[in-house]
Amino acid sequence: MADDETFCYRDGELYCEGAAAERIAEQYGTPCYVYSTALLRERFKRIRQAFAQWDTLVCFSVKSCANVSILKLLAQAGSGFDAVSGGELYRALVAGADPEKIVFAGVGKTAGEIEYALQEGILMFNVESRAELEAINEVADRLGVRARVAIRVNPDIDPRTHEKTTTGKGGTKFGIGIDEAEKLAGEAAGWSGVELRGIHIHLGSPIYSTEPYERALAKVVPLIERLRAAGCRIDRLNIGGGFCISYTGEATPPPQEYAAAVESYLEKSACAVIIIEPGRYIAGNAGMLLTRVIYRKETQFGKRFIICDAAMNDLVRPTLYGAFHRLWPARSEEGMPQVVLAEQEGFDGIPTELVDVVGPVCENGDFLARARALPRLEAGDLLAVFDAGAYGFSMSSNYNARPRAAEVLVDGPEHRLIRHRETYGDLVGPERQFM
């Protein structure tokens, strides 16, 4: 199934695979996240194939989309996982992940999390500071095991993405500078609890060109060579995630382009195993958020608002990063235009009006789209927010005491609930006993 056939209009109605959006919304209510099994599988397969010339372990980034049914589906397809907390590790294990395919990154791993990961026998830790490496060494010694680690290098490369999701630049909290990494590797060679096996980078997200990866690897590969010459057994190179997707319908580099760009570096690194950590590429386009219009509101100040039942607590990306998500009514005779741009004011042949699509949360920053050209919407209409599968539900919150949305997984014509809509009872569950 081609990407653009997964979420598409047939006879004026939006479908995810073989399931009509309107039926899903009626059955499970709104707001509701809807994911395509076919597209999740297809994207996993595609990125794995792009890197197939190496022995590549794909570690799906749990933070992008953490529902255990989705992790299970990917684990069954052969995926490993990139976790950044004990909670994410727990989710992956509950989903049936093979611990030998789990890598653990993050700048603040606690001793408890380190112990948990060691007991479960994960593949390796991506270490982000000297203090953390010491902590891992200590915990591993106490447990009588040896922890496999990769040093997460901060190569000081600008990935040219949003400032808040830039991680490979010097001055951010992530990773260890090349010089420090070399020094630390030398010292840690004598520590009994850790075994340095790899180098890790993750530059930022999303990265719309291959060039930052090339520039980073041009620094990292010589480091690997030097470490090896000094006696370290570096046999794993993890190039992180950041592989972009299209949010507008416009073309973006496919995974083969990233693989081709880094090919000579990966060869030169002579690492037996290559690790990649895609999140957005696998889950981003594979999920949409369905929301119903509650009210139209036209003001004397010349503004037109479409107020819907999804809000910033359900999808924070627009307000947090100024992110653009395509948005279109689930019933539309003309279907959705191929490309929808942020600055677009109308579409050929489709009458539109300029609106702000907002939620019920009490903040001016609560919006899903601003100044967006959309066909006229009325109360009760169903609206789809596309490409919300990554960093959508996983970043949602209970702000304004809003129960979090339901999640539904579609497989062909079938669909099933994979997370029930939270209840008011769920909201106070952890507090009630202390009243």
Binding residue for ligand LLP (CB under 6 A) from 168, 175, 212, 242?
242
State the residue for tokens 């073309």.
Answer: 251
The β-bridge partners of 200 are 152, 238
Nearest approach in angstroms of CB 279 to ligand LLP is 3
Asked if 79 and 58 count as a contact pair (C-beta separation under 8 A), the reply is: yes
- Among the candidate windows 48-56, 73-81, 176-184, 389-397, which touches ligand LLP by CB under 6 A? 389-397
d(CA 19, CA 17): 6
Q: Which tokens hold the place of 253?
A: 């580099």
Catalytic residue among 59, 65, 244, 362: 362
Other CB atoms within a 10 A radius of the CB of residue 349 amount to: 7
Binding residue for ligand LLP (CB under 6 A) from 132, 277, 314, 407?
277
Q: Please, is 172 exposed, middle or buried when counting C-beta atoms within 10 Å of its C-beta (0-12, 13-18, 19+)?
A: middle
Nearest approach in angstroms of CB 105 to ligand LLP is 4
Asked if 241 and 61 count as a contact pair (C-beta separation under 8 A), the reply is: yes
Nearest approach in angstroms of CB 60 to ligand LLP is 9
Please give the residues from 393 up to 422 whose contact with ligand LLP meets the rule CB under 6 A. 395
- Among the candidate windows 14-22, 93-101, 276-284, 401-409, which touches ligand LLP by CB under 6 A? 276-284
Q: Is the CB of 168 or the CB of 329 nearer to ligand LLP?
A: 168
Q: Is the CB of 59 or the CB of 373 nearer to ligand LLP?
A: 59
Cis-peptide, bond into residue 337, ω within 30° of zero: no
Helix (H) or strand (E) holding 197: strand 194-200
Q: How many binding residues for ligand LLP (CB under 6 A)?
A: 23
> From residue 39, how far is each of 2, 68, 71 by CA, in Å?
8, 17, 14
Phi, psi torsion values for 306, nearest 5 degrees: -105, 110
- Among the candidate windows 134-142, 275-283, 360-368, 408-416, which touches ligand LLP by CB under 6 A? 275-283
Binding residue for ligand LLP (CB under 6 A) from 30, 129, 205, 396?
205
Q: Which tokens hold the place of 225?
A: 């060579």
Nearest residue to 13 via CA among 434, 425, 384, 391 = 384
Nearest approach in angstroms of CB 86 to ligand LLP is 16
Please give the residues from 97 up to 156 whose contact with ligand LLP meets the rule CB under 6 A. 105
32 noted as active-site residue: no
Asked if 359 and 366 count as a contact pair (C-beta separation under 8 A), the reply is: yes
d(CA 322, CA 370): 10
Decide if residue 278 touches ligand LLP (CB under 6 A).
yes
d(CA 235, CA 213): 19
Residues in the chain: 435
CA-CA-CA-CA torsion sign (293, 366, 168, 234): negative
d(CA 43, CA 282): 5
Please give the residues from 48 up to 107 whose contact with ligand LLP meets the rule CB under 6 A. 61, 63-64, 82, 105
- Among the candidate windows 200-208, 252-260, 262-270, 419-427, which touches ligand LLP by CB under 6 A? 200-208
Please give the residues from 308 up to 337 whose contact with ligand LLP meets the rule CB under 6 A. 317, 321
Decide if residue 279 touches ligand LLP (CB under 6 A).
yes
Binding residue for ligand LLP (CB under 6 A) from 165, 210, 246, 400?
165
Asked if 291 and 385 count as a contact pair (C-beta separation under 8 A), the reply is: yes
Nearest approach in angstroms of CB 147 to ligand LLP is 18
Q: Which tokens hold the place of 143?
A: 């447990």
Decide if residue 43 touches ligand LLP (CB under 6 A).
no
- Among the candidate windows 34-42, 113-121, 271-279, 347-355, which touches ligand LLP by CB under 6 A? 271-279
Nearest approach in angstroms of CB 167 to ligand LLP is 6
The β-bridge partners of 359 are none
Q: Is the CB of 79 or the CB of 332 nearer to ligand LLP?
A: 79
For the annotated catalytic residues, the residue numbers are: 362
| Binding footprint of ligand LLP on the chain (CB under 6 A) | 61, 63-64, 82, 105, 165, 202, 205-206, 240-243, 277-281, 317, 321, 390-391, 395
